[in-house]
Structures are given as structure tokens and as C-alpha cells.
Amino acid sequence: MVKFSADRKYDKERAIFVVNGHDYTNHCHRFLSVAIRTAMDAKNIVNGPRILEGAVEDSMRTVFLDTFRQQQIVSMSERIELIESYYSWAGLGVISFDAVGKNGGEVSLSSSHADEAWKLMIGEATEPINFITKGFIAAAFGCLYDQPARFYHVQEVASIILGSEKSIFKVYLP
Amino acid sequence: MINREAIIEMMTAGENQSNEQGLIPSMGVYLQQLPTELWNNYLYRMINAVEPAMFRPLEILFSNAASECSYHTFGQLVNTPEIWNAVKQFTDGSEEADIHALFAIVSGLGMGDIHVEELIPGEKLVVRAYRYYEGEVLEFGQYPRPCSFTYQGAFSSVMDAIYGENLGDFLCTQTKGIECGDAYGEFVIVKATEEMKMERTSYNI
């Protein structure tokens, strides 16, 4: 089983964490939930959820491609294991790439930081809120199939925050 | 007043360990560790996407969100004896030291090299951030005005948590920013006037 290998150091001068050459910061679940809510609240002036998804997709693409190279991970199955491992390492929950092909597939969460954060900080939701995982999944499929950003679209079709046992994401080509 | 190095050392020692749910419980919250680029992509794409007239409403939206988050988290830290006593062992026990300690914690979370420049207890706080990720976004040029909305909200909530009765009793104005060409970010937090509070709630976007 391939796992994400983190060379994590605290840069005292800059007061920031550096993981495998990239700058990282810790935020709490409250921060993540209000960041998501801000994207939704701003919808009258800007497409906040889409911007958040794209922001995640682009930053995760860099992480995935660098990590494939750093850990010399070549096979599809090992790359998927590594991406799943990263999701938990980051504290985002437990993700499973259940069906993966060049035309899309299906991904599920049995545990979700975003949904738990929303429940704890904000309460109930009336629509799916996990834009961060949508961007994460789009980045994963793009990197697995050597496709550009925004190539894959992701839709959250079942959500833990809305009462489902698992969150389920459909991945498709527009 | 505080042993800042010791607090940061305590905060940064060891790895974040996720549990079987893929969550990282720490200090009464769940942490997540993500690239700063992700958060900067999000904030600056939002800033760059809105009409100039909507800059201030967006600033308020983001900073309000950050202060709401930080107010609860800092308040929880201060009011959880097993956590706060571990921090207090590195302070002289004064209320003023609490403020300095909270900024050491902010630095220990990986949010940047951030220091209290001036503190008038219960009245005013000036914070200087010599390195902070929202300031480090441009490869050329500068923004015409400060844009570190998350830091603005987080910093005002420190005063709320220690001296305020409610969230929003103190508000922050960012007067300098690395993102707009200054050598450091400067954040001035004062007791909110009624006029300031009105502005914070008057935008409906």
C-alpha cells in the first residue's frame, strides 16, 4: 500500500510549514467551514463555489504531480492509493476512488472534514457544501489521465451533511 | 513577558496525526493541513473577480468570516484549562501576556512571523506581520491596497477573545501590506465604534 510521504519541517524564519518543498499552514475546522460559507455568501457578485473548486484543483495538481515524481509512483493503482492517503494525511477525511476511468467515474467519502466542520460550526445545510473535495477530485483525475485543469467536472450527488451515510461524487466529461 | 520560542516549539513539535476518520483532532478542534497556495488562490481569485466597488464588501465578508472562526477557536483555547495552562507556563501570567501568547500560537500554526508591536490593554493593538502567506502572492508589482482579509479578521478576534464581551467588539484596519509593497503587514485593532459596527453589517451581497 503506497502512502503519502511527507517531509514536513517548520521554517522558523518564515513561521510556516514546508512539506515536500511546498508551503503549508494549519487551519481549524471552523476556518474551513466559514471559507466555504463565504464562497456561497458571495454568489451574488461572483461564482464563489466555482472559484474555490478551481483554487483547490490548481494547487492540488501541483502537489500530486510533484509527489508522483518525488516518490517515483508510476502505476495507476499506486497513484490512486497515494492520492487517497494524502486526503487523510491532510485531515480532510477518508476518500475512496471507487470507479476510475479516462471518461470519469465515482468517488466516495466515508468521513468528511468539510461536512463535519459545517455541522459543528454552522449546523444544517440545504445543499452540498464540499467544494473543496470537488476540486480535489478534479485535480486527481486530471493528473491521473494527464489532462489539463477543468477537463473533468465533478458533481456531489450524495452528501453526509444532507444525511447520507457517504458523500458520493460523480466525475464526468462535459 | 512570554517565552515565544517555547510556545512555538510546543506548537510545532511532532507531526499532525490523522485518526481512522482521516481527521486531525488537536487542541479541541479538527485541523487540516493544506498548501498556502490553495488559500491564496481562493482569496485572490475572489478579489480579482469582483468589480472595484465590491472590494470593500468582499473584504468585510472574508474578515468577518475569519474573525468568527478565530473568536471561537481562541476563546476555546483560553477557556480550556488543560490547553491554556500548557501555554501559560511560558508567560508571566498577565492578561497582556495572553495576547502575546495567542500571536505566538498563530505563528506556531504556520500563519507567519507575527508580533505584537503595541498594546494598550482593552483599547488598542497594533500587530506587525513580517512574513505571512496572504502577503506573498505577487511575482511582480503590487496591489493598490492591503488585501490580507483573513489576517484582519483573525487578529481582531484576539482582542475580542481577551477583552471583548462579544464578537465584533474590536475591529481591524490593515494599514500596511507586503502585498502592496510595504516591508511588512501592519494591522491596527481598536474598539469598534457604532459607525464601524454599522459598516460591518450594512453590506448585503
Distance CA A18, CA A15 (A): 10
Q: What is the pLDDT of residue B184?
A: 98
- What are the pLDDT digits (tens) for B163-174? 999 999 999 999
By three-state DSSP, how is residue B166 classified? coil
Distance CA B103, CA B66 (A): 15
Distance CA A71, CA A74 (A): 9
Q: Which of A25, A38, A44 sits opposite B65 (nearest CB)?
A: A38
∠ CA B97-B101-B103, nearest 5°, is 125
- What are the pLDDT digits (tens) for A55-90? 999 999 999 999 999 999 999 999 999 999 999 999
Mean pLDDT, chain A, whole residue set: 97
What sign does the dihedral A91-A95-A100-A105 (CA atoms) show?
Answer: negative
Q: What Cα–Cα distance (Å) separates residue B134 from each residue in A150, A155, B167?
A: 25, 30, 23
How large is the average pLDDT for residues B175-187?
97
Name residues whose C-beta falls within 8 Å of residue A80's C-beta, 6 or more positions apart in sequence.
Answer: A97, A100, A140, A144
Distance CA B34, CA B38 (A): 7
By three-state DSSP, how is residue A149 classified? coil
Q: What is the pLDDT of residue B200?
A: 85
Q: What is the pLDDT of residue B201?
A: 81
Q: Which amino acid is at B94?
A: S
Is A113 within 8 Å of A92 (Cβ atoms)?
yes
How large is the average pLDDT for residues B107-136?
96
Distance CA A161, CA B118 (A): 43
Name residues whose C-beta falls within 8 Å of residue A169's C-beta, 6 or more positions apart in sequence.
Answer: A106, A107, A108, A109, A133, A134, A137, A154, A155, A156, A157
pLDDT band at B134 (very low <50, low <70, confident <90, very high): very high
Q: What is the pLDDT of residue A81?
A: 98
Q: What is the pLDDT of residue B204?
A: 60
How large is the average pLDDT for residues B47-69?
94
Residue B110 gets the label, from left (phi > 0), alpha (psi -120 to 50) or beta, of left
Indicate whether B31 pLDDT > 90.
Answer: yes
Indicate whether B27 pLDDT > 90.
Answer: no
Distance CA B135, CA B129 (A): 9
Please report the residues numbered 65 through 104 in chain A whose beta carbons come closer than 8 angstroms to any beta carbon of chain B. Answer: 87-95
Asked if A3 is an interface residue toward chain B (Cβ–Cβ < 8 A), one would say no
Q: Which among B69, B127, B148, B149 is the top mutation candidate for probing chain A, defined by the most A β-carbons within 10 Å of its own β-carbon?
A: B69
In degrees and rounded to multiples of 5, residue B134 shows phi and psi of: -70, -15
B96, burial (CB in 10 Å: exposed 0-12, middle 13-18, buried 19+): middle
Q: Which among A4, A13, A30, A89 is the top mutation candidate for probing chain B, defined by the most B β-carbons within 10 Å of its own β-carbon?
A: A30
Euclidean distance between the first and the last CA atom of chain B, given in angstroms as a whole number? 43
The shortest C-alpha distance from B205 to chain A (Å) reads 6
Distance CA B139, CA B92 (A): 42
For residue A81, the surrounding DSSP H or E stretch is helix A76-89
**Can you give the C-alpha Rg of chain B in angstroms?**
17
- What are the pLDDT digits (tens) for A36-45? 999 999 988 9
Residues of chain A under the 50 pLDDT cut? none
* A and B: number of Cβ contacts within 8 A: 181
How large is the average pLDDT for residues B66-95?
93
Q: What is the pLDDT of residue B205?
A: 58
Asked if B72 is an interface residue toward chain A (Cβ–Cβ < 8 A), one would say yes
- pTM greater than 0.90: yes
ipTM value, please give it. Answer: 0.97
Distance CA B105, CA B44 (A): 25
Asked if B194 is an interface residue toward chain A (Cβ–Cβ < 8 A), one would say no
